[in-house]
A and B are shown apart, each in its own frame.
Chain A
Amino acid sequence: MNANILLGLSPLLIVAVGALVLMVVEALSRFRDERLESPSASLAVSSSVVLFASAIAAAGVWFYGPENLPEVSSLAPWLLLDRFSLFFFVILTLGGALSCLLAGGYLPEHKLDRGEFYPLLLLSTVGAMTLAAAGDMLTIFLGLEAMSLGVYTMVAFRRGSPRSIEAALKYFLLGSFAAALLLYGGALLYGATGHTDLSGIGSQLANTGLRLVKSDSEVPSDMLLIAYDNAVPLVMVGLVLILVGLAFKVSAVPFHMWTPDAYEGAPTPATTYMAVVVKAAAFALMLRVLLIAFADAKTASWGTGWPPVVAGLAVATMTVANVIAVRQESVKRMLAYSSIAHAGTLLIAVVAATKATQQAEASMIYYLLAYTVSTAGAFGTLILCGSRGAEAVSYEDLAGLGRRHPAIAFAFSLFLLSLAGVPPLAGFFGKFYLFRVAIDNGFTMLAVLGLLNSVIAAYYYLRVLVVMYMKEPEPGAPIAVPMRSGYVAAALLISAVLVVLLGLLPNGTLEAAILAAG
């Protein structure tokens, strides 16, 4: 361990140490009595401070230049602390910090005010960051589980609610199943190539060189039962298992069944966290696995490899999610399906990355950043619209909001328009750049389908606006009474500023994204 390694690891270490310290402080503090207005509010602030500090540390390492820290390469392949990881650290900690602030308002309002939420969120973010930086099946597994175990618990946080527990159970079972599939795929690849690190697997697959059983000196002679050729099925089965595991994690259709239920049943800050942080980390994982381990000419070609499968997943995901989202009556569930649809759009870029890796990755990174701030904002406004016993969930709850609470309605419109991809907001530029990369590299059909889906999506986003501004609540119908919370307001303010900034001044961020992808 020397200072440069510590500096390189600082974004991760800050969150990890912060989580442990807050956990102990929360357990040992004697101020946990009921009379306090909100015993865990200070935890919300300190956790988001920890996460912002980590983001600043990541930015610091970025500007200092990871290439000036040659010692961090000794952490490879376990952790790859390159610009890709650093950019994802910023996205993940930003999403985590926004979720923390939302929780600071939501949990006390809904009588869920227990301090465990924040250490869980921080530890889960450590897992997500590990996942984004992982370059070996082992660290991928550890990061994935560290992230997921925290999220399962956050989903189950409303212990007394059958919905919350049901959501947690479904998410837990399918999540662990997916992890087991991914792991078995990894184990088979280890058998075929002798490597668990992604670049090792990749280079073995690239120079035909399945390592399997060639020299008698290496292997006891009685174990030569599997012939060299038999390694190819091992690789194929491994690839399929890993693809299915990844599809579960990014919730691509038809492996998405858990997503709407888990998103709807979870407390909304946990939903935000899942939609933002877990999704971004899962895409980082997908990019690393597919573009490092399975990037050889054969596996990554349209005719013989995974790209057509991913393209099929992309089309199915966008179409199915959007069609179902249109039919939803609950805004929270609609946002859940919308997040699945966005995953479908991102999968287009994964396919395009086989042709133009740098541009496609950059467009994904930019899209994820725009999606993070827009989605966190949309869920945040939904939190703000409700209060104890009257959580705003359905479209009717929002009727007349534009007249009663113009500021909240305006914020909600801003985030939804960004998600719909209306210029000049962040989401527009994310979509624009992503589709352009797809078209430039000959995936016109995919881009056209993506655009058509954006039109469907615009319908259900605009429906919220119509209800808010042009409808009045039925007489006697329950109307949502917005809560008051400085934390939620702060989170919304940060998201709104970023949504506008990323839309109006995309160039700096885009250049950074290209640098990160390079």
Chain B
Amino acid sequence: MVETYAPLLLMFALAFVVVIGFFLASHYLGPKKPSPEKMMPFESGNPSEGASHLRMSVKYFLTAISFVVFDVEVVFLYLWAVHFKSLGGAGLLMAAAFLAMLLIGLVYELRKGALEWEN
């Protein structure tokens, strides 16, 4: 059991050691002469400006929230699709009811203006 994975583990360990080794080596061996220009973040030669952290508009979050829900609920359709034949008419009916409920949610979202990008 362990023997099967030993080479893999060895490779991971080796890679880890090498990477850490190079980092440490450059940290200790390289000369350091910091100056204000050198400490600035490199932005293709332009002087850097603005905050380093780009703030996303809340609008993206709202869209993401809707996306997450509708995207994942569809997972149940996979199960239905896999057993489409054996579930037959009853399955079709159930899936239709499921989709109808999702549709109600979509209609609700549309009417409430949750999907309008501009304000």
Contacts and interface: CB of A to CB of B under 8 A. Distances in A.
Touching chains A and B, CB distance < 8 Å: yes
A118 B108 CA distance: 14
A226 to B, nearest CB: 15
Nearest to B111: A27
Contacts of A20: 101, 104
B111 to A, nearest CB: 4
Contacts of B111: 27-28
A20 B101 CA distance: 8
A20 B100 CA distance: 11
Interface in A18-49: 20, 23-24, 27-28
B74 interface: no
A499 B104 CA distance: 40
Nearest to B105: A23
Interface string B29-48: 00000000000000000000
Contacts of A28: 107, 111
Nearest to B100: A20
Interface residues of B, number: 6
A27 B115 CA distance: 14
A23 B111 CA distance: 11
Nearest to A32: B111
A24 B105 CA distance: 9
A180 to B, nearest CB: 17
Contacts of B85: none
A27 B101 contact: no
Nearest to B108: A27
Contacts of A24: 104, 107-108
Interface string B85-119: 00000000000000001001001100110000000
A19 to B, nearest CB: 10
Nearest to A28: B111
Contacts of A23: 104, 108
Contacts of B107: 24, 27-28
Contacts of B101: 20
Nearest to A119: B108
A264 to B, nearest CB: 27
Nearest to A27: B111
A164 B32 CA distance: 53
Nearest to A115: B112
Contacts of A27: 107-108, 111-112
Nearest to B101: A20
A28 B112 CA distance: 9
Interface string A1-28: 0000000000000000000100110011
A176 to B, nearest CB: 15
A244 B86 CA distance: 41
A45 B101 CA distance: 24
A40 B42 CA distance: 57
A251 B111 CA distance: 38
A24 B112 CA distance: 11
A23 B112 CA distance: 11
Nearest to B1: A222
A62 B10 CA distance: 68
A380 B107 CA distance: 34
B25 to A, nearest CB: 42
B98 to A, nearest CB: 13
B108 to A, nearest CB: 5
Contacts of B108: 23-24, 27
A148 to B, nearest CB: 16
B58 to A, nearest CB: 13
B89 to A, nearest CB: 12
Nearest to B109: A27
Contacts of B104: 20, 23-24
A136 B20 CA distance: 50
A248 B111 CA distance: 37
B14 to A, nearest CB: 28
A23 B108 CA distance: 7
A319 to B, nearest CB: 42
A421 to B, nearest CB: 44
13 contacts: A20-B101, A20-B104, A23-B104, A23-B108, A24-B104, A24-B107, A24-B108, A27-B107, A27-B108, A27-B111, A27-B112, A28-B107, A28-B111
Interface of A: 20, 23-24, 27-28
The 9 A-B pairs at the shortest CB distance, nearest first, are namely: A27-B111, A27-B108, A20-B104, A23-B108, A24-B104, A28-B111, A27-B112, A24-B107, A27-B107
Given A24-B107, A24-B108, 11 more contacts: A20-B101, A20-B104, A23-B104, A23-B108, A24-B104, A27-B107, A27-B108, A27-B111, A27-B112, A28-B107, A28-B111
